[in-house]
Amino acid sequence: MKPDAHSMPEGPKGRPGPDSLSAKARGGVAAALASLPTGAAVAGDGLPLAVAAWRLADSEVAARLLEEWLATADAEGNLSPPCPVACQFAEWVAEALPDPEPFVARILPALARVLARAFDRYDVRGTGLPLWPSAAESLFPAEFAPGRFTVDLAVLLSNEASAFGRLADGRPEFVSALDLAEGERSELDDWLQENFWDEEASAFCRLDEGAESVPDLSPCGFFPLAWEARTEAMAEGLRARASELEPAGWPARAWALFFALLLRTPHHSVIARMRRKGLPAGASPLEEAAWAVLAAGADAARSLMVGDLPPAARWLDAHGRGIARGLLWGGAALLLALLGWGFFRRESRGAGDGAEIERRARLACADGDHARAAALYHQAARRGDVPYFRYRQAGEWMHLEQYAEAEAAYREGLRLDPDAPNARLNLALAIVKQGRREEALELYRAFAAAPDAASHPELAARAQLAAELIGRQHALDRP
């Protein structure tokens, strides 16, 4: 199975941070940052959240905190506090540093040791199913039971292996560690994809020792939204249950950590819900400060999408719900006229160039209206850059599981730009989703073996892996 996050064309790498917020919001973030510790000893159990928050505001402080966290590892590689996100957060911090190479070179030996220990520590019996060792260490103490498997830990460890693989890629001194990480990741992903997803319940399962697996409707079961190997069907199923995400059922630490992980995903509607709901009661001062910064990061990411809209449309986007409530209770002609004028500005088919239409399409996608986003990208393609906008349109069709339409859009873009690597790779995905595995297999193999594969090694590796998985499925299907 392929992940639901499609490969995207290279573009601006703006990262959300306090500088993209309003003056009032920056003041709130500054107050929160003043409450965040800058040393591991002071942070205590909140150290991972402090790293995540500082990464958005000051990458140098985040890097220092992460190195101090790694320095707490004992002779076996056990971190204090134990939390399997060190590799993921290290990768995020490295991305934010102006010169990440010295930082990565310093931390990789410790990360390799910590990751190897994590695989052993959480899977003492060697079954491939990691277990939280205690209620105190688990993200959800109320859901802990000795011998119980929940998918939250498996997701974190799989993502850890993936992040380490990217950080250590191309470094021969870490070949053994890379092999271990890849093997563990592959096993975890296979377990989760093939044995623990209940499509009918739109839920992942939990497994108690000596019992059959059952759908896990607890907060643990939402963590695969942050899993790098999730499929589109899994993501759609979990997002459909987003109304069940209530802070009352979550420890504040788990809620904030999950929110930090989601900031790296396309689940904008889930992020927006968590942002509106706020932090669960009983949060520590550190958790409250980290949440304020992380929430500001989510707001900044939203503002990047809205920033270039016309002022009237931007105002309506921010205040539309309030206007609707006002109209419901009586309203006024002036508000109604303003709403109509702004709607005309945003929705007129003839208005705006391709860039403006793309902004509207991105907003529609963020709100989960993929059909509308696809229609807007179709409009944008009429104004130029057909390969790019057909690629974006195809991605919306993939979200809607309308794979034939996605295939047609990918093919039209490739007709004009036959060397576009992302479109070539995702065309194969659209084809395999329609059950034409042999055709997709040939496309994946051709992509991995193409002379230009070296110029995009990550995509070539994905194609090779997809070809291997299809080959395995063929072997299983043989009588």
Is the residue at 234 inside a domain? yes
Give every CB contact of residue 284 below 8 A, 6+ residues apart in sequence: 46, 252
Residue 206's SS3 state is strand
Q: Is the pTM of this model over 0.85?
A: no
Q: What percent of the chain has pLDDT over 70?
A: 82
Cis (ω within 30 of 0) for the bond into 81? yes
Give every CB contact of residue 52 below 8 A, 6+ residues apart in sequence: 89, 92, 257, 260, 290, 294
Say what the pLDDT of residue 199 is: 84
Say what the pLDDT of residue 3 is: 44
Half-sphere exposure of 300 (CA within 13 A, CB side): 22
**pLDDT, tens only, 329-338:** 444 455 555 4
Long-range contacts of 425-428 (CB under 8 A, 24+ apart): 425/7, 425/459, 425/462, 425/463, 426/6, 426/7, 426/391, 426/394, 426/395, 426/398, 428/463, 428/466
Is the residue at 249 inside a domain? yes
445-458 mean pLDDT: 85
Is the residue at 42 inside a domain? yes
> Could you please report the per-residue DSSP string of 170-186?
T-GGGHHHHHHHHHHHH
Characterize the bridge pairing of strands 197-198 and 203-206. antiparallel
Q: What percent of the chain has pLDDT over 90?
A: 43
Is the residue at 437 inside a domain? no
Among 260-269, 330-339, 341-350, which stretch is predicted with the lowest mean pLDDT? Answer: 341-350
* pLDDT of 12 over the 60 cut: no
Q: Work out the pLDDT band at 358, boundaries 50, 70, 90.
A: confident
Report which of 382, 330, 320, 323 is spatially closest to residue 357, judged by C-alpha positions. 382
> Could you please report the per-residue DSSP string of 137-172?
TSS-GGG--TT-B-HHHHHHHHHHHHHHHHHHTT-G
88-115 mean pLDDT: 93
Indicate the burial class of 26 (C-beta count within 10 angstroms; 0-12, 13-18, 19 or more).
middle
Domain that holds residue 58: 20-306
**pLDDT, tens only, 126-159:** 888 899 999 999 999 999 999 999 999 999 999 9
Give 471 or 106, the one with higher predicted confidence: 106
**pLDDT, tens only, 43-67:** 999 999 999 999 988 889 999 999 9
Q: Work out the pLDDT band at 109, boundaries 50, 70, 90.
A: very high
Which CATH number do you get for residue 132?
Answer: 1.50.10.10
**pLDDT, tens only, 278-309:** 999 999 999 999 999 999 888 876 665 545 44
Q: Work out the pLDDT band at 11, boundaries 50, 70, 90.
A: very low
* pLDDT of 246 over the 90 cut: yes
* pLDDT of 427 over the 50 cut: yes
Say what the pLDDT of residue 226 is: 94
* pLDDT of 382 over the 70 cut: yes
Please count the structural domains in the chain: 1
Is the residue at 209 inside a domain? yes
254-276 mean pLDDT: 91
Say what the pLDDT of residue 100 is: 92
Is the residue at 411 inside a domain? no
Is the residue at 91 inside a domain? yes
**pLDDT, tens only, 315-329:** 444 554 454 455 444
How high is the mean pLDDT of the chain?
82
Residue 262's SS3 state is helix
26-32 mean pLDDT: 75
Give, as one character, the DSSP assignment of residue 57: H
Sheet with 214-215, side-by-side order of all strands? 197-198, 203-206, 214-215
Say what the pLDDT of residue 311 is: 56
Is the residue at 372 inside a domain? no
